[in-house]
Amino acid sequence: MPQQSWTEKEERQYEHIKSQAMERGSSEDRAEEIAARTVNKNRAQAGESQQRSETATQDIPPQRRGGLRSGSGSGPGGRTKQQLYADAQRADIKGRSKMTKAELERALQRT
């Protein structure tokens, strides 16, 4: 799955992340997805990609994050306020813009 625009270093990083994910029990498809997303996010943060999201460029690097914030909220700190706000927006929760992170969590649990 390595992209043609990736450097040799990025291709090595991709292979390493993929093998580590497979050692932890991920399927090959899932391991490839994890590796590609990690490399692409690093490229976006370095300003090397043509397309990038605002969260990809402002968030901490995936290597530093180390699974601290999984989508399930099981890691220390759970989801970010920004992630909670986006979920509240999708759930059409009123007053979400003035809510704290804890209030957003409680409001989402009620839905």
**What is the tens place of the pLDDT at every residue in 28-57?**
999 999 998 888 888 887 777 666 666 666
Question: Domain-by-domain residue ranges, the chain?
Answer: 1-66, 71-111
Give residue 63's pLDDT: 64
pLDDT in tens, 65-97: 665 655 555 455 678 899 899 999 999 999 999
What is the distance between the alpha carbons of residues 98 and 94, in angstroms, rounded to a whole number? 10
pTM above 0.75, yes or no: no
Q: Which residue has the tokens 């590609």?
A: 36
Rounded to 10 degrees, what is the CA torsion of 53, 55, 58, 64? -110
Six-digit token string for 62: 């995936």
* List of long-range contacts for 2-5, beta carbons under 8 Å, 24+ apart: 3/36
